[in-house]
Structure 1
Amino acid sequence: MASIKRRDNGKWRARYRDSEGREHARHFETKRDAQQWLDTVTASVVRGDYIDPKAGLISFTDFYASWAKRQLWTRGTRASYETVAATVTFGNTPLLKIKRSHVETWVKKMSTDGLAPQTIANRLGLMRAVLKAAVGDRLLAFDPSTGVRRPTIASKASTMNIPNAKELRALMDASEPFFRVAFLVGAFAGLRQGEVCGLQLSDIDFMRRQLHVRRQVQRESPHPVEIRAPKYNSDRTVHLPQSVLHEISRHVKDFGTYGDEQWLLLGRDGGPMWPRLHEYRFAKAAKAAGLDYTSHDLRHYFASGLIAAGVDVVAVQRAMGHKSASVTLDTYSHLWPNSEERTRGAVESIFEEAFGTPADSSRTRTSV
């Protein structure tokens, strides 16, 4: 039900009841303005995109607190969202009053504070997830952060650090002997740091020449160690050559395994190695070798080797445990052969199939 009525003070009062029977009213100087507002509201009710103006008065911080309680996050994901919620500059602003300028101001502040462009982009993405949830709960008609530009992120080609074969050997030679297996599964199976720490002997199928990635180890102080599924639930099977399996087998023979679960890397009290200890031992080896690499660079080494060998993007995605093929392309597209060269090669191949090699064609013409 909707109506317009002139008040004693000369203003026009437009009112309506929403689908739940709550009454809403506004006052205007002219009847025409009142009717336009009422028409707009009525149309939104008919379309099904009506937003209760009072619902959006909840602040960003309060909405986040309510929304976060319902999310099935890992500890790390929750910590990332908590950081965003604690640092946005419009936390006390009602959702309906958040403007694009508020978000731009926050992004500028993060940049001024010296945060890396990728960090800013990540935080902006998390904040947008909160606003999209508010849109989904019908507290906002649209996401006010739409169109906000993030800082320019350096291209993957200019920032990717990939060791060559000689450097990889130097890193392994500089490592503590029992830790060499971490370099093996990082460089030749593409495992993430937490996945390396989570390896158990039962994950290696020596007969089928396979390595099964089933878990990762995470620990964030002061919380205890946490064993959970790989990132993006990327349980996967990596196919290994006999040479790599031989090295893993030698590691087991020389150093054994640890605990009832038979962890490949030594941890505390029979448990798995903690990621921070893995990071320390890797950095120690890199420093001894005089090289500046991290364990994640071994994943790049693995991916670059697959791409150089002609492995297609979907196979690389599966081996790396990426969320999607688009992530793989976004990360490693610069490593795939140039499209122009692939086109030339393809045309050359079908040309030779039709006419033979240039030498064959020349001889054919001469004989005629």
Structure 2
Amino acid sequence: MRKERSAVYGKVARWRVRWVDDSGREQSKVFRLKEAAQAHLDQVTADVVRGEYVNARNSQVTFGVVAKEWLAGKGTRKPKTVAGYESLLDHLVLPRWRGVKLKDITHGDVQRWVSGLSANGSVRMEGRGLSASRVIQAHQCMSAVLKYAIRTDRLAKNVAAGIELPRKAEAERRCLTHGQLWDLAERVGEHKAVTLVMGYCGLRIGEVRALRFKDLRDQTLTVRASVTKVTGKGFIEATTKTHRTRWVPVPQVVWELLPSGDDDALVFPGRDGFLTDFEYRRAFDQAAKDVGVPGLVPHELRHTCASLAIAAGATILAVQRLLGHETASMTLDLYGHLYSDDLTNVANALDTAARALSA
């Protein structure tokens, strides 16, 4: 790379910076001032050394074009996940960034956009802000597109990094007692067994929908699939959230309530196929009110399962396997507070064991 004084502009002195890009092509740019030319040369040199050099022409492409490419590459993800990306792009991200060139997006612009979503970003209710969770999802989606632009040599850095995001409120995880769980199950009518399977086996509602009679063997559930409803596509059956099969033992009292049927038939069908949210929630929501836990959602039965298992002496590893978490650390983060931290109990247990040897 070198700089040359150019006479092509007549009497006005110009300074031309020449360099070779990462594809081997010579590039050049002209400056009026020598200082500006030197600064540009220094910047290009530094970018090349750090491996961050990007041809300016590459960043002329609009965000919308890159977002379309990025989304097209998500074909291997679950349909519900892809639908979630599409929703974020269509309603929150692209309306602001679709026609903006990558080179024109600044950190400040992204920060103002994020702050605006928190203040009045609601699509359905004008003047209302989005929840912290939704704002964070929108930012993550935009940032993912920019990271893709970096990988495809259109950007040198992610200007969406380091943005001040809203804080999510700590979610309340309600856990039922054995008595509350059975009281709830008795009040949901035909969905009693569904409720107890979620409450004692920790299945997600999508995993319950996908259960077939061939998955019920030797008082154990084989959880190999999950069924979710995707807007515009109906019910989609796919692998579990972690893409892994797990085997969940069923308490005898719950096993005795499970129906029987042909291997490929659904254990808990709906009226027209898979069990719908409406069919289950219609009975569940009223039952929750009746037992004194209004607003309870089916996923909290999964928390109930974890709580009851821990109270029964289950280890973190056992709870992880029961619920199908990716890692034990995730289980610990969610439910570690349910374990006793009283070291006196530990000392007493050690004392009892030691005394037994000398008895």
Q: TM-score, normalised by structure 1?
A: 0.82
Q: 2:306 matched to which residue of 1?
A: 303
Match of 2:284 among 270, 282, 291: 282
Q: Confirm or deny that 1:148 pairs with 2:152.
A: no
SS of residue paired to 2:28: strand
- Superposed, 1:6-25 pairs within 5 Å as 6-7=6-7, 8=9, 9-25=12-28
Alpha-carbon distance in structure 2 between the residues aligned to 1:146 and 1:326: 26
Q: Deviations over 1:320-347 (max 9, x none)?
A: 1223333323332332333xx24x5445
The worse-fitting range, judged by mean Cα deviation, of 83-92 and 142-151 is 83-92
Letter of the 1:267 partner, please give it.
Answer: G
Q: TM-score, normalised by structure 2?
A: 0.84
Alpha-carbon distance in structure 2 between the residues aligned to 1:352 and 1:4: 86
Q: Which consecutive unaligned segments of at least 5 residues does structure 1 have? A: 361-368
Contact kept, 8 Å, 2:83 with 2:231, in 1: the verdict is no
Q: Confirm or deny that 1:315 pairs with 2:301.
A: no
Match of 1:233 among 218, 233, 243: 243
Cα RMSD (Å): 2.7
Q: 2:64 matched to which residue of 1?
A: 61
The size of the alignment, in residue pairs, is 341
Tell me how far 1:203 sits from its aligned partner. 0.9
Q: 1:180 matched to which residue of 2?
A: 192
Tell me how far 1:136 sits from its aligned partner. 1.8
Letter of the 2:99 partner, please give it.
Answer: N
Alpha-carbon distance in structure 1 between the residues aligned to 2:266 and 2:211: 6
Contact kept, 8 Å, 1:171 with 1:286, in 2: the verdict is yes
Q: 1:363 matched to which residue of 2?
A: none
Contact kept, 8 Å, 1:217 with 1:275, in 2: the verdict is no
Alpha-carbon distance in structure 1 between the residues aligned to 2:117 and 2:337: 29
Letter of the 2:222 partner, please give it.
Answer: H
Aligned CA distance change for structure 1 residues 101 and 284 (closer, same or farther; 3 Å) = same
Alpha-carbon distance in structure 2 between the residues aligned to 1:58 and 1:331: 43
Alpha-carbon distance in structure 1 between the residues aligned to 2:47 and 2:88: 32
Contact kept, 8 Å, 2:201 with 2:305, in 1: the verdict is yes
Alpha-carbon distance in structure 2 between the residues aligned to 1:4 and 1:336: 72
Q: 1:109 matched to which residue of 2?
A: 116
Aligned CA distance change for structure 1 residues 104 and 40 (closer, same or farther; 3 Å) = closer
Contact kept, 8 Å, 1:197 with 1:275, in 2: the verdict is no
Q: Deviations over 1:305-330 (max 9, x none)?
A: 22333433333222212233333233
Q: Deviations over 1:139-186 (max 9, x none)?
A: 222221221122122224xx222222232122111111x311111110
Tell me how far 1:132 sits from its aligned partner. 1.7
Tell me how far 1:239 sits from its aligned partner. 2.1
Aligned CA distance change for structure 1 residues 92 and 238 (closer, same or farther; 3 Å) = same
SS of residue paired to 1:225: strand
Q: 2:4 matched to which residue of 1?
A: 4
Tell me how far 1:268 sits from its aligned partner. 4.4
- Superposed, 1:23-172 pairs within 5 Å as 23-71=26-74, 72-86=76-90, 87-88=92-93, 89-112=96-119, 113-156=128-171, 159-172=172-185
Q: Confirm or deny that 1:204 pairs with 2:240.
A: no
Aligned CA distance change for structure 1 residues 324 and 94 (closer, same or farther; 3 Å) = farther
Letter of the 2:159 partner, please give it.
Answer: P
